[in-house]
Structure 1
């Protein structure tokens, strides 16, 4: 095998591969990227047995063939080569080495046989549809912060993507929760997605898939089955197992009767929460909200480190309310708001609070209060 590629294209392909491979694995081949050259293109494949990424790139192929080499080492080499360099990779089956050359730089890397590389079995997908990159990006970006990190509740360690009934008909919905906060984001249902089984997309897959969604108007081909999900662009295909578990009935957590309405400038609110939380104890990071007519006082009282208070002008016309929240949760939710105003709907100091962006109901957030 021998081919040459421009450094930038090679770096992009290898970067995607090295982020998928598992750093701490007991199977050496899983640390490698499978490189296969033929025709006028080269493919780079990497897997951790749960996720597989396949990246295709145009190259000047002198000799077809394939090998596997350490993904992290190859990435580091290519990253440190000068911009615009033409990189030549050549595998010598006799020596079991891969040579990497660019200008006056030459490297020789150990390889493992490509026959040992595990390729994820292809499966029949129940549902295939296409969605714009910006639509998928919004669905996952606005929900992923609420993914649980508790391994015991493994079915919460991802984003639940499914078809649901929205206010104006069927929608494509992503939901994530960790029991303390919840994010529910809707988008118009793409054509062909009405038969989609609900799947829990793992946290790592969400992170890897996010790298495919840079160009807004690009179409992403999405394929879903009971056990796998696949996202594909013309160059990159990302296939992942889904979490084998049942996502809880999140609709029971979303409050319906919250009538006390607070409207506040989202960025001003986030900055104020961040400022007063500076003195809060790291363990609880509790912030108290005191609501009175058109006035919000944010306060923190941490006996061991100090106290802080800040007042904001807001739109609020209901009876006086005091309620406490974890500052980190408030900040994460407030930072999701793209519009100017955030609308909070309260019931009492002990009940879940609902937040949305202005009058838009396609993005809904729930946060549990804390005792302060």
Structure 2
């Protein structure tokens, strides 16, 4: 029988549980791009301290760090993130050995053996730096869930790429607008802080439930469990958003939200992009009539019961924007507060913490 090869004098071995390392690499991998200008950004940074293996990844805008239990100690090193995750995910449940030997990382479990190249750990970037506010608890996911749809990633006005978070009258408030619609959610009590603009990618990695948030003018830090997200902010703030919210819309057209959602979905079947996916709403006499005309595919009408008994008012909206707002509103009842056929509509719902604005379209 061949004699086993002795480990190199500079080799160090760590042992981690497969489920733990898969969970850590998955969490950190959410910010690692498949294609990178800088090869080091395809790697994760690994380091040990006090029986914990800390895994860190970044795309230079967001950095995610998480820790898991480990046996052993090692100098910091890097490893290709996607390849390492693909390997350990396919191992059987149990212990995984990570043995660093020079510029090679040996990954072992059971009878499986892999050798991966590493890159210089000194070249791995970090986003740390700058002073953050005192941390406080907040449910960010709840604030962003029904506002982020109103961002506009294609517009060259970069402030529209994110959701503004601010402290308003002692409560957290999130607002987003793409110029065609606005969504605003008010949350729980928080300390005072200056308004910040969260990028959509950062919003996408925030977990459900309470997290601990600290902010500065250009960064935010989000902590939950053993994981920390450090992210740059959009450096262009929203302009004065209050100007976009109508104040004197006296015609209150109230209806059942699920019924309206279904009606909009039906008539939008023939709405065309060429026509701006327009649907004409005519309210009056206890009903709202929806009408879509498409020169290529015909016409469609539908009706929804309303409590509005005032004079008839007609206004055009984009079908998709109406559907998005109705979905975010949730609950049973929704009210469109109208001024006339050419002014923005204020949209309220059963939840008093939610407010939406919908810009009209010419029909």
Q: TM-score, normalised by structure 1?
A: 0.89
For 1:322 and 1:338, locate their aligned partners in 2 and report how far apart those are by CA, in whole Å: 24
Aligned to 1:164: 168
Aligned to 1:97: 104
Q: Is the 8 A contact 2:18 2:96 kept in 1?
A: no
Deviation string 1:53-102 (CA, Å, 9 cap, x unpaired) is: 1011223x2343332122222233344445xx1241423332x2223333
Q: 1:369 to 1:151 in 2, by over 3 A?
A: closer
Aligned to 1:117: 124
Tell me which of 194, 197, 209 is aligned to 1:197. Answer: 194
Aligned to 1:235: 226
Q: 1:151 to 1:345 in 2, by over 3 A?
A: closer
Following TM superposition, by how much is the alpha carbon of 1:371 offset from its aligned partner in structure 2, in angstroms?
1.3
| More displaced stretch, 180-189 vs 7-16 | 7-16
SS of equivalent to 2:329? coil
For 1:252 and 1:102, locate their aligned partners in 2 and report how far apart those are by CA, in whole Å: 61
Tell me which of 27, 32, 41 is aligned to 1:21. Answer: 32
Which has the higher Rg, Structure 1 or Structure 2? 2
Aligned to 1:36: 47
Q: 1:236 to 1:340 in 2, by over 3 A?
A: same
For 2:130 and 2:107, locate their aligned partners in 1 and report how far apart those are by CA, in whole Å: 35
Q: Is the 8 A contact 2:329 2:354 kept in 1?
A: no
Q: 1:367 to 1:81 in 2, by over 3 A?
A: farther
For 2:94 and 2:28, locate their aligned partners in 1 and report how far apart those are by CA, in whole Å: 20
For 1:148 and 1:266, locate their aligned partners in 2 and report how far apart those are by CA, in whole Å: 25
Which sections of structure 2, spanning at least 5 residues, go unmatched?
1-11
For 2:19 and 2:343, locate their aligned partners in 1 and report how far apart those are by CA, in whole Å: 52
RMSD: 1.8
**In the alignment, structure 1 residue 287 sits paired with structure 2 residue 287:** no
Deviation string 1:224-263 (CA, Å, 9 cap, x unpaired) is: 1111111101311001111112311000110000111111
Aligned to 2:144: 140
Following TM superposition, by how much is the alpha carbon of 1:127 offset from its aligned partner in structure 2, in angstroms?
4.0
Aligned to 2:3: none
For 2:86 and 2:341, locate their aligned partners in 1 and report how far apart those are by CA, in whole Å: 52
For 1:77 and 1:275, locate their aligned partners in 2 and report how far apart those are by CA, in whole Å: 47
User: 1:79-94 to 2 correspondence within 5 Å?
Assistant: 79-82=89-92, 85-94=93-102
Q: 1:311 to 1:71 in 2, by over 3 A?
A: same
Q: 1:92 to 1:336 in 2, by over 3 A?
A: same
**In the alignment, structure 1 residue 68 sits paired with structure 2 residue 75:** no
For 2:122 and 2:101, locate their aligned partners in 1 and report how far apart those are by CA, in whole Å: 13
**In the alignment, structure 1 residue 328 sits paired with structure 2 residue 320:** yes
For 1:120 and 1:339, locate their aligned partners in 2 and report how far apart those are by CA, in whole Å: 41
**In the alignment, structure 1 residue 180 sits paired with structure 2 residue 190:** no
Aligned to 2:245: 254
Alignment size in residue pairs? 351
For 1:102 and 1:269, locate their aligned partners in 2 and report how far apart those are by CA, in whole Å: 56
Aligned to 2:6: none
Q: 1:129 to 1:270 in 2, by over 3 A?
A: same
Aligned to 1:128: 135
SS of equivalent to 2:205? helix
Q: Is the 8 A contact 1:280 1:306 kept in 2?
A: no
Aligned to 1:263: 254
SS of equivalent to 1:344? strand
SS of equivalent to 1:106? strand
**In the alignment, structure 1 residue 244 sits paired with structure 2 residue 235:** yes
Which sections of structure 1, spanning at least 5 residues, go unmatched?
none
